[in-house]
C-alpha cells in the first residue's frame, strides 16, 4: 500500500471508473455487458479483446520485480483487513488481478468503465437504486468448486463488516446484497450518490465462502487463500519474496476481458530492506524489473555497461492518471496544529526549489493540487459551475477562496529563503507562539515541538534541511525513524505529528474521498484521513463530486473541493512527475498500444524467449 523513496513515499492507490466513448450503455432495465459512470462504453457487446493487448501473446516465463507498494516485508496473505502488512499483489490497493476475480474489471483505455468477468452482464434499475448481476456458470475457484452468488454476497458482507475500514466507508450506502439465484445477485442502494456504487460493488474481490467457513477472515494469516483469479500463490518467504503461479486451468482465460493478459507463468516480488542493495541486485540480474523512485539514482546510478549495451533497458512510461496528493500531512487532531496560521507557516519553511535542484536533479514539478496532473485541478479564480457551487457556502469560507487558489510559495532556491522564513515567523507569532531564548512557546508555556515520522532513512535527506529551517524560526523540529511495522501501527492510530503520504486520486474520484478527507473518517482507526480533516463544507463538496451526473459537473465539484482543501493548509505539498521510470533486463515484449491509465506490465507484457536467449549470450 505504500511507496518508499526519497520522493515517492507511501502510496495509496485507489481507482474507480468513468467513461468516454462511442457506444451507449444499455438503458435502465436492460442487461449490459459493462457499466460506466456517465453512460458510455467504448467496447461493444461482441468485442473480442481490449485494444491495448496482444491477443496472441505467448504464455510462459517469469518476471521478478520489486513491488511498488513500498513495504520492506510482509506478514500476511490477507490484504483486505486492517491488521498486518499484506504481501505485494494482494489487497485493496492493487490495480491488477492476481488471486481474486471480480464481477467486472476495468478497461485501462477508458477513464471509468468496467466489463463483465464473473458477471456476464448487469441490469441497472430505472432509479439506479439497485443493480442485478448475472453470473457466468463457468466461474470456478482454484479448487474446482463453482463460484456462485452466495460467494459474492459473503464477500460483500464480510468486507463491509470485518474488512478494512475503507470498505465500510465506501460501501456505506450499499444497503444489502441479495441472492436471487445461484447465478444472480442484486445490490440495493440508498441515498442519491449512487453513481459510484454500481462500480464499487462490481469491483469487489470475490472470496470463497466455504474456505472461510472454518477460518477467521479478520485475522492475519500466512495460509494461501483460495481464489478464482488468473494466479495462485506459490512459494514465499516472509521478508524475502513471494511468487504467484499462473493457473493453466483458469476458467476465464478465453473471455474477451482476459485475452492477451496475464502472460507470465510466474510473478515474483522481491523484498529488500536497503534501497542501495536493491539497486545493485538489479544490476547483478538478481531480479528483472524495477520502477525507480529515487531521482538521484535515476540520474546517476545507471551509468553501467549493461545500460550502454542496451541489455538493461531504461524507460519513461507516460502516466495520464492524476498524479494525486503527495506531501507532509499535518495531524490537526493535535492542538498545536489547529491554528491555520501554524500550518501555513510550515508550508513557507519548506524550500522545494532547493530540494529539487540539490537532491532531485530537477526531476520534479511542485505539487499544488490534490488532483495534480488533471483537469480537476483548481486554477485562478472560480468561475461558472465551480463558482455557483462555492457560493452556497460563502458565509463559511474565507474570502481568499473566491479571489484565487492557494499555491505553494516559490523560494529563491538558496535553501534558506529569508523572505519566506520571515513570513512564516510572523504567522507563528500571530498564532500566539512567541520566541523566548530562540524557541517558541504559547501562552501556556508549551514549547512548539514537531516530529516527522518516517521509516526509511533515505527520506532523512529531504527532511533534514526542512528541520533546519524550522529551527531557524524557533520550532523544535526533529525526525523520528521507526521500523516499518511500528510505522504502520502509528499511522493507523494517528500517532504522529507529521508524516509523508501519497494519495493517487481516481480518474473519476468518488466515494473513496469520504475515507481520505471526510469527517466521519477523521476518527476511524486505519482510515486514510491522516490530517484529521473535519469540515462540513468539505463533506458537502465530496458529496457533490460523488453525485455529479455529468463529467462537467464532476470536474467543477472537484475543482471547488480542491480549492477549499488547499485553503485549509492540511499538508505541505511535495512534488510529482507524470510518468513511470522503469529499468528492466531486455527479455520482455509488449503490445504496440500502451495502456494510458496503467503501467500494463503485469497485465499485458510477455516473456520473449528470443530476447532472453540473446541476453544470455551477451
Mean per-residue pLDDT pooled into runs of 10, the chain (618 residues): 39 33 49 89 96 97 79 85 88 74 94 94 94 98 98 97 89 95 97 84 97 95 96 94 96 98 96 87 96 88 96 92 90 98 98 95 93 94 97 96 96 97 98 97 97 91 97 98 91 96 85 92 93 98 92 95 98 92 97 90 96 89
Of the three residues 197, 214, 231, the one that is the final residue of a domain is 214
How many independent structural domains does the chain possess? 2
CA distance 484 to 331: 19
Residues 523 and 375 in one domain: yes
Closest Cα partner for 515 from 165, 213, 46? 165
Q: Using only C-alpha atoms, what is the Rg of the chain?
A: 24
Q: For residues 159 and 171, is the Cβ–Cβ distance under 8 A?
A: yes
Of the three residues 540, 559, 576, the one that is the final residue of a domain is 576
Torsion of CA 282, 283, 289, 290, to 10 degrees: 70
**Residue 223 is assigned to a structural domain of this protein:** no
Closest Cα partner for 488 from 541, 545, 526? 526
**Residue 510 is assigned to a structural domain of this protein:** yes
Residue 420 is part of a domain; what is its CATH number?
3.10.105.10
Supply the range of the domain harboring residue 456. Answer: 325-576
CA distance 9 to 141: 36
Residues 347 and 468 in one domain: yes
Instruction: Quote the pLDDT of residue 3.
Output: 37
Instruction: Quote the pLDDT of residue 26.
Output: 43
Q: For residues 36 and 113, is the Cβ–Cβ distance under 8 A?
A: yes
Q: For residues 591 and 604, is the Cβ–Cβ distance under 8 A?
A: yes
Residues 421 and 567 in one domain: yes
Instruction: Quote the pLDDT of residue 507.
Output: 84
DSSP-derived secondary structure letter, 264:
-
Instruction: Quote the pLDDT of residue 321.
Output: 85
DSSP-derived secondary structure letter, 79:
-
Closest Cα partner for 61 from 591, 614, 612? 612
Residues 336, 342, 344: CA angle, nearest 5 degrees: 145
Closest Cα partner for 531 from 327, 362, 375? 327
**46: Cβ–Cβ under 8 A, 6 or more apart, which residues?**
none
What grid cell was written down for 30?
436492460
Residues 344 and 473 in one domain: yes
Instruction: Quote the pLDDT of residue 94.
Output: 58
DSSP-derived secondary structure letter, 132:
E
What are the b/e assignments for 568-588, b being 16+ CB within 10 Å? bbbbbbbbbbeebbbbbbbbb
**Residue 464 is assigned to a structural domain of this protein:** yes
What are the b/e assignments for 269-285, b being 16+ CB within 10 Å? bbbbeebeebbebbbee
**192: Cβ–Cβ under 8 A, 6 or more apart, which residues?**
547
**Residue 248 is assigned to a structural domain of this protein:** no
**Residue 292 is assigned to a structural domain of this protein:** no
**Residue 129 is assigned to a structural domain of this protein:** yes
**Residue 496 is assigned to a structural domain of this protein:** yes
DSSP-derived secondary structure letter, 396:
G
Of the three residues 576, 596, 613, the one that is the final residue of a domain is 576
**323: Cβ–Cβ under 8 A, 6 or more apart, which residues?**
367, 372, 373, 374, 504, 576, 577, 578
Beta bridge partners of 477: 450
Parallel, antiparallel or unpaired: strands 266-270 and 241-246: antiparallel
Angle between helices 536-547 and 195-202 (to 10 degrees): 70
**Residue 229 is assigned to a structural domain of this protein:** no
Instruction: Quote the pLDDT of residue 14.
Output: 34
Amino acid at each position: 500500500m505504500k511507496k518508499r523513496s526519497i520522493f515517492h513515499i507511501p502510496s495509496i492507490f485507489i481507482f474507480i471508473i468513468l467513461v468516454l466513448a462511442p457506444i451507449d450503455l444499455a438503458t435502465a432495465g436492460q442487461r449490459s455487458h459493462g457499466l460506466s459512470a456517465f453512460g458510455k462504453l467504448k467496447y461493444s457487446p461482441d468485442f473480442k479483446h481490449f485494444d491495448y493487448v496482444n491477443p496472441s501473446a505467448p504464455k510462459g516465463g517469469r518476471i521478478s520485480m520489486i513491488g511498488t507498494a513500498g513495504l520492506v516485508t510482509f506478514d500476511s496473505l490477507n490484504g483486505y483487513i486492517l491488521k498486518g502488512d499484506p504481501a505485494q499483489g494482494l489487497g485493496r490497493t492493487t490495480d491488477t488481478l492476481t488471486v481474486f476475480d471480480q464481477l467486472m474489471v476495468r478497461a485501462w483505455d477508458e477513464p471509468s468503465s468496467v466489463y463483465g468477468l464473473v458477471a456476464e452482464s448487469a441490469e441497472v434499475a430505472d432509479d439506479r437504486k439497485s443493480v442485478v448481476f448475472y453470473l457466468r456458470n463457468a466461474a470456478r475457484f482454484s479448487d474446482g468448486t463453482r463460484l456462485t452468488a452466495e460467494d459474492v454476497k459473503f464477500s460483500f458482507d464480510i468486507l463491509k463488516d470485518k474488512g478494512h475500514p475503507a470498505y465500510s466507508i465506501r460501501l456505506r450506502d450499499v444497503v444489502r446484497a441479495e441472492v436471487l439465484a445461484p447465478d444472480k445477485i442484486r445490490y440495493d442502494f440508498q441515498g442519491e450518490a449512487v453513481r459510484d456504487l454500481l462500480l464499487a460493488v462490481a469491483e469487489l474481490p470475490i472470496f470463497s465462502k466455504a474456505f472461510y467457513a472454518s477460518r477467521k477472515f479478520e485475522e492475519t494469516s500466512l495460509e494461501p487463500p483460495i481464489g478464482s483469479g488468473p494466479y495462485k500463490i506459490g512459494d514465499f518467504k516472509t521478508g524475502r519474496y513471494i511468487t504467484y503461479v499462473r493457473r493453466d486451468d483458469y476458467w476465464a482465460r478465453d473471455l474477451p476481458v482476459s485475452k492477451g493478459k496475464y502472460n507470465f507463468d510466474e510473478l515474483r516480488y522481491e523484498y529488500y530492506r536497503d534501497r542501495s542493495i536493491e539497486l545493485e541486485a538489479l544490476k547483478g540480474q538478481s531480479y528483472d524489473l524495477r520502477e525507480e523512485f529515487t531521482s538521484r539514482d535515476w540520474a546517476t546510478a545507471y551509468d553501467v555497461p549493461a545500460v550502454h549495451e542496451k541489455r538493461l533497458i531504461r524507460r519513461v512510461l507516460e502516466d495520464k492518471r492524476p498524479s494525486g496528493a503527495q506531501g507532509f500531512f499535518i495531524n490537526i487532531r493535535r492542538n498545536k496544529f489547529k491554528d491555520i496560521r501554524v500550518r501555513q507557516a510550515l508550508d513557507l519553511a519548506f524550500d522545494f526549489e532547493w530540494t529539487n535542484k540539490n537532491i532531485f536533479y530537477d526531476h520534479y514539478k511542485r505539487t499544488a493540487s490534490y488532483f495534480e496532473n488533471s483537469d480537476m485541478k483548481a486554477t485562478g479564480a472560480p468561475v461558472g459551475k465551480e463558482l455557483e457551487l462555492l457560493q452556497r457556502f460563502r458565509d463559511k469560507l474565507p474570502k481568499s477562496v473566491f479571489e484565487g487558489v492557494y499555491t505553494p510559495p516559490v523560494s529563491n532556491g538558496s535553501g534558506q529563503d529569508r523572505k519566506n522564513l520571515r513570513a512564516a515567523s510572523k504567522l507563528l507569532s500571530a498564532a500566539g507562539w512567541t520566541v523566548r531564548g530562540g524557541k517558541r512557546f504559547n501562552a501556556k508555556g508549551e514549547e512548539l515541538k514537531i516530529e516527522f515520522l518516517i521509516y526509511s532513512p533515505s527520506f532523512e535527506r529531504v527532511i533534514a534541511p526542512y528541520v533546519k529551517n524550522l529551527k531557524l524560526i524557533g520550532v523544535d523540529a526533529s525526525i523520528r525513524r521507526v521500523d516499518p511495522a511500528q510505522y504502520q501501527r502509528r499511522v493507523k492510530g494517528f500517532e504522529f505529528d507529521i508524516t509523508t503520504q501519497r494519495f493517487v486520486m481516481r480518474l473519476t474520484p468518488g466515494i473513496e474521498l469520504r475515507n481520505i478527507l471526510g469527517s466521519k473518517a477523521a476518527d476511524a482507526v486505519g482510515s486514510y484521513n491522516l490530517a484529521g480533516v473535519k469540515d462540513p463544507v468539505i463533506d458537502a463538496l465530496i458529496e457533490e463530486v460523488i453525485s455529479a451526473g455529468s463529467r462537467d459537473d464532476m470536474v467543477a465539484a472537484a475543482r471547488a473541493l480542491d480549492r477549499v482543501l488547499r485553503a485549509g493548509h492540511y499538508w505541505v505539498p511535495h512534488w510529482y512527475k507524470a510518468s513511470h521510470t522503469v529499468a528492466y533486463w531486455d527479455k520482455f515484449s509488449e503490445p504496440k498500444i500502451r495502456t494510458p491509465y496503467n503501467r500494463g506490465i503485469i497485465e499485458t507484457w510477455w516473456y520473449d524467449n528470443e530476447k532472453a536467449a540473446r541476453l544470455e549470450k551477451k
